[in-house]
């Protein structure tokens, strides 16, 4: 099946710093990638949808200037959490949809656990 | 009201038991329906899609009632390895997935 990787798998950073998370589709080209966030005991919440070569579409309540998304190629999207605060500590998961995937199935990465101290 | 609602559980059942999870969704324009499984601190994995006619995959049976906006998952002959959180997911338009908070299942020996 399709494989999506994320890097890093976990990160601890100090408040005020920025953290970049990478999402890669390893064996397929992804026209669309999605970024989700999951707080403990809560559901995955879609943060933004990114299409290769265009600006990301953010969900209501998600600050685009704080969560910078870049989808520069068909296999890579990055999420940068700028000026991180402890309340940004969460499990960030990306997913990707293939360029020829008519089923619209999303393939999920293994997630990145962010802890801001 | 949440878009996708599930009983959070936990459901504690012995091996071999049959257990059923329910889910309701609020948006009647929802087009596709899924059950995902999520293990602790891991990404969700697609368990099965849910079709109007109902569908079965081994020990798992999913049902959809569009009129009541209700989805169910039945697990027969529970195994220890079935212990996980089961996420009810709906999709409307082509991309956006809406996740429920999940129902936690714990199967004990």
pLDDT for res B27:
87
Mean pLDDT of chain A: 91
Helix %, strand %, coil % of chain B (to 5): 5, 55, 40
Q: Give B34's DSSP letter.
A: E
List all residues of chain B from 71 to 90 with a beta carbon under 8 Å from chain A: 87
Say whether A49 and B97 touch across the interface (CB within 8 A): no
Those residues with Cβ within 8 angstroms of residue A84's Cβ, 6 or more apart along the chain or in another chain: A13, A15, A16, A17, A18, A19, A114, A116
- Is A45 within 8 Å of chain B by CB? yes
CB contact under 8 A, B95 and A45: no
Q: Is A91 on the interface with B (CB under 8 A)?
A: yes
- What is the residue-averaged pLDDT of chain B? 93
Q: How confident is the model at residue A2 (pLDDT cuts 50, 70, 90)?
A: confident
Work out the minimum CA distance from B98 to partner chain A, whole angstroms: 7
* A40-54 mean pLDDT: 89
Q: Among all residues of chain B, which has the CA nearest to that of A91?
A: B41
Least confident of A27-31, A76-80, A92-96: A27-31
φ and ψ at residue A109, rounded to 5 degrees? -80, 170
Nearest to A93 among B43, B94, B100 (CB): B43
CB contact under 8 A, B96 and A113: no
Which residues from chain B sit within 8 angstroms of residue A44, using beta carbons?
Answer: 44, 87, 97, 99
B47 reaches A (C-beta below 8 A): no
Rounded to a whole number, what is the distance in Å from the CA of A88 to chain B's nearest CA?
17
Contacts of A61 (CB under 8 A, 6+ apart): none
pLDDT in tens, B20-61: 999 999 988 888 999 999 999 899 999 999 988 889 999 999
Report the residue from B41, B43, B95 with minimal CB separation from A109: B43
Residue B94 has pLDDT above 70, yes or no: no
Tell me whether B100 touches chain A (CB under 8 Å): yes
Region A49-78: mean pLDDT is 92
Q: Kindly give the pairing relationship between strand A10-13 and strand A76-81.
A: unpaired
Non-local (6+) Cβ contacts of A55 within 8 A are none
């Amino acid at each position: 099946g399709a494989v999506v990787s994320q890097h890093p798998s976990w990160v601890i950073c100090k408040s005020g710093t920025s953290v970049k998370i990478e999402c890669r589709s390893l064996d397929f080209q992804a026209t669309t990638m999605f970024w989700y966030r999951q707080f403990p005991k809560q559901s995955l919440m879609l943060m933004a949808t990114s299409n290769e070569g265009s600006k990301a579409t953010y969900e209501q309540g998600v600050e685009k200037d704080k969560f910078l998304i870049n989808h520069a190629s068909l296999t890579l999207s990055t999420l940068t959490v700028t000026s991180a605060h402890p309340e940004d500590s969460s499990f960030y998961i990306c997913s990707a949809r293939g360029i020829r995937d008519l089923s619209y199935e999303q393939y999920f990465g293994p997630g990145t656990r962010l802890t801001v101290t | 009201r949440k878009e996708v609602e599930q009983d959070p559980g936990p459901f504690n059942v012995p091996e071999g038991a049959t257990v059923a999870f329910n889910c309701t969704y609020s948006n009647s324009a929802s087009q596709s329906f899924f059950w995902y499984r999520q293990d602790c601190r891991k990404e969700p994995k697609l368990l099965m899609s849910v079709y109007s006619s109902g569908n079965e995959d081994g020990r798992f049976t999913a049902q959809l009632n569009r009129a009541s906006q209700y989805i169910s998952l039945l697990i027969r002959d529970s195994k220890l390895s079935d212990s996980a959180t089961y996420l009810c997911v709906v999709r409307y338009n082509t991309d956006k997935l809406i996740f429920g908070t999940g129902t936690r299942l714990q199967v004990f020996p």
